[in-house]
Structure 1
Amino acid sequence: MTLSNLNQRPHIVWLDVLRFVAIFMVLISHSADPFNASVEARTNPDFNLWGSAFGSLVRACVPLFVMMTGLLLLPVKQEMGSFYKKRISRVLYPFLVWSVLFNLAPWFIQFAGGSAQLVTVFFPWGGEPSASLMDALKAIALIPVNFNMFACPMWYIYLLIGLYLYMPVFSAWIEKASDRSKRLFLGLWGVTLLLPYVQEFVSHFVLGTCDWNQFGMLYYFAGFNGYLLLGHYLKKGNDWSWTKTLLITVPMFAAGYFVTFKGFRTMSSNPDVTNAGLELFWTYCSLNTVLMTVAVFLFVQKIRLTSAKVIAIFASIAKCSFGMYMCHYFFVGPAYLIAVEIGTPVYLQIPVSASIVFIASWTLVHLIYKLPKAKYVVG
């Protein structure tokens, strides 16, 4: 089902549902941070179990957003400069606003009388917070170089801007490539999805990489550009029945989830595991994550909505989803404290926290959109 928005562009309703699924997955992922980043996560079996279970369940979140970007924007129809100006500016200003706010937050919380421990509740991966305004300003000055863990969600915006920079170049090939050529590219990309495990368990250097060269044989087929192409390639949908869709997508998701969950549990049970080792089976560009991502994409693609009210709700969520991504991390810690305070069982604390974060961030972004120039804050 399609509608028309104010710009008379086709409105793909199932994509709004997919945006809801993807953003809620992001919220679950970060609501699991108090379980996976705390000392208790290594010593409390319940924390380890449910942090692993929910964190592994939602690894498709970011790849789904990248697939939607490829579906909607490839092939690029604008001249390169115009495309950059339109797309990058829409994410750059909100990125700068929220990056500054996140970097000021540890100082401001302590300046207002909060403890360093409270800052850690808000930012589980942040480490020891500084109470110095000068340190916060230094972190802000380094935003062009990279994010820090107090602005953890901002890593995706660097990636997104990089994809925007690459898309006009990639698009020139996509416009001329046959479906067979696209499948060949995806096949080579598929091989690269195994490389994180080869590097961890077989050899650190593979396919020509070494101390003086990090660009291996399949480097140019690797990374999130595969998700861009996958979204573009699958945009036509499928004519499968619901029965066939379920017979394919459910085992596909289950297989990917099994590897992700068991792998993460194995790595997290090692007291000497590095941060890179801990994240190994949660890598977005891995075969297990791709299996889950494609399964969710194909499943949601079959959904058809008929209620105008339901369509309007999902359209509102879709409109707010970028802003929700930008601001939601402020609510993760408080939502976790609320979930604990109201006596939520451990196995439900993550989804309950995510639901609180969803309501809070959606409400905030909805209110911000009522202000003039809101796009500079929430996209």
Structure 2
Amino acid sequence: MKRIVFLDYIRVFACFLVMVVHASENFYGAPGSTDMAGPQSYLATEADRLWVAVYDGFSRMAVPLFMIVSAFLLAPMKEGQTMWQFYRQRCLRILPPFFIFMILYSTLPMLWGQLDAATSIKDMSRIFLNFPTLAGHFWFMYPLISLYLFIPIISPWLRKATAKEERFFIGLFVLSTYMPYLNRWCGEVWGQCFWNEYHMLWYFSGYLGYLVLAHYIRVHLAWSRSKRLIVGTVLMLVGAVWTIYSFYVQATPGELHSTPVIEIGWAFCTINCVLLTTGTFLMFTCIKRPEAPKMVTDLSKLSYGMYLMHIFWLGLWVTVFKQTLELPTVAAIPCIAVVTFVSCFVTTKVISFIPGSKWIIG
């Protein structure tokens, strides 16, 4: 299948942003936390507050971008393809590397003392239930798998739906993205109560909205290149400012915060994150090159393996740039992200030369 060039650029961009997010989390995790933010957060200085808000906030589009790229390519599934054929292809593509790295994250950190034997045994015993203790970034795999499971279900509707019908679905999805703010300011709404979490818009919420949005952009959005660029830039800027400010305004330095509270605007299905993601995606659709540079294509092909392994490299470079060199936050976060990105690319590229490497890095 011919590669869609702008999607390669998005994969590379989103993969890098994931590493920016996790580099940033080392500057607001509570004392004693791992390489990723825990239930409580602590900003030591005003500089940490500002630059975590800017770098991490802007990068929160990474996960939704990956969701949109997957939906853009896979939904609806091919004519004549059965549900089971679709599932088989997806499972063979993502599950073997996923489980290999689950095992690695459950065992390898014992070599450098980051994991004890009891935790390792517990992680291994729960490998079919949830991600390991030191692989918090694997949470993403479960909603992605859920999206794959649902694509055959929604494909018949997507083939027949009109632009107006898809806009109706997207409108309800957008309305659902206000729920975190409504719950914060208005309490339980639209049927929510202590014994019922399934509110009125439950079935229009979550990453399914990004799936329908991706299909609508691919099939129904007939805007010119200049209109996509202008509208995309405006949406991206509005979403970025909103997402960055939502954290900055709450994260008072020197105080212990509840992470879910100060990250309310960083949830991937909030309206500001939808604006940020949609705007950025529209901007990337303006790329009309017949093919991407080989480096971009290579990075895109290796991005899954890079995502899987990056926490291994991240911890090392956090030690170097934050603790040993003691760079200021404004420089440390991008340095950690860039060097982690390069390290992951080199590692996955070397692995790619091994026969059968697709079972390890995808």
**Post-superposition offset of 1:374:** 1.0
Quote the Cα distance in structure 1 between the aligned partners of 2:145 and 2:26.
Answer: 29
Task: Give the match for residue 297 of structure 2.
Answer: 315
* TM-score, normalised relative to structure 1: 0.87
**Post-superposition offset of 1:238:** 4.8
- Out of 260-269 and 186-195, give the one that drifted further: 260-269
In structure 2, runs of 5+ residues without a counterpart are: 32-40
Aligned residue identity for 2:337 = A
Aligned residue identity for 1:20 = V
Task: Give the match for residue 11 of structure 1.
Answer: 3
Task: Give the match for residue 102 of structure 1.
Answer: 105
Task: Give the match for residue 256 of structure 1.
Answer: 239
Quote the Cα distance in structure 1 between the aligned partners of 2:326 and 2:251.
Answer: 27
Aligned residue identity for 1:53 = V
Task: Give the match for residue 168 of structure 2.
Answer: 184
1:49-92 per-residue CA deviation (whole Å, 9 max, x = no partner) reads 21121000111101011101111001112201111111022111
Q: Quick check: 1:88 aligned with 2:91?
A: yes
Q: Quick check: 1:24 aligned with 2:16?
A: yes
1:309-350 per-residue CA deviation (whole Å, 9 max, x = no partner) reads x52111101100111110111111212233344564431211
In structure 1, runs of 5+ residues without a counterpart are: 1-8, 111-118, 120-129
Quote the Cα distance in structure 1 between the aligned partners of 2:303 and 2:194.
Answer: 41
* 1:151-300 pair list within 5 angstroms: 151-203=135-187, 205-236=188-219, 238-242=222-226, 244-269=227-252, 271=255, 273-300=257-284
**Post-superposition offset of 1:41:** 4.5
Calculate percent identity across the aligned residue pairs.
30
1:170-220 per-residue CA deviation (whole Å, 9 max, x = no partner) reads 1121111111111100000010000011112210x2211222222111111
Query: Would the alpha carbon gap of residues 59 and 238 (structure 1) be closer, same or farther in structure 2, given more than 3 Å must change?
Result: farther
Contact 1:27 1:358 in 2 (8 A): yes
Task: Give the match for residue 324 of structure 1.
Answer: 306
- Out of 96-105 and 10-19, give the one that drifted further: 96-105
**Post-superposition offset of 1:247:** 3.1
Q: Quick check: 1:48 aligned with 2:49?
A: yes
Query: Would the alpha carbon gap of residues 47 and 297 (structure 1) be closer, same or farther in structure 2, given more than 3 Å must change?
Result: same
Alignment length, in residue pairs?
348
* 1:327-342 pair list within 5 angstroms: 327-340=309-322, 341-342=324-325
Quote the Cα distance in structure 2 between the aligned partners of 1:96 and 1:245.
Answer: 39
Quote the Cα distance in structure 1 between the aligned partners of 2:216 and 2:23.
Answer: 32
**Post-superposition offset of 1:304:** 3.0
SS in 2 for 1:174: helix
Task: Give the match for residue 331 of structure 2.
Answer: 348
Aligned residue identity for 1:42 = L
SS in 1 for 2:206: coil
1:100-153 per-residue CA deviation (whole Å, 9 max, x = no partner) reads 21122443322xxxxxxxx4xxxxxxxxxx52x132111121122222441111
Query: Would the alpha carbon gap of residues 305 and 339 (structure 1) be closer, same or farther in structure 2, given more than 3 Å must change?
Result: farther
SS in 1 for 2:3: strand
Quote the Cα distance in structure 2 between the aligned partners of 1:42 and 1:319.
Answer: 36
Quote the Cα distance in structure 2 between the aligned partners of 1:327 and 1:304.
Answer: 31
Contact 2:15 2:303 in 1 (8 A): yes
Aligned residue identity for 1:32 = S
Aligned residue identity for 1:313 = M
SS in 2 for 1:273: strand
Q: Quick check: 1:357 aligned with 2:360?
A: no
RMSD across aligned C-alpha pairs, in angstroms? Answer: 1.9
Task: Give the match for residue 36 of structure 2.
Answer: none
Query: Would the alpha carbon gap of residues 164 and 149 (structure 1) be closer, same or farther in structure 2, given more than 3 Å must change?
Result: same
SS in 1 for 2:200: coil
SS in 1 for 2:250: helix
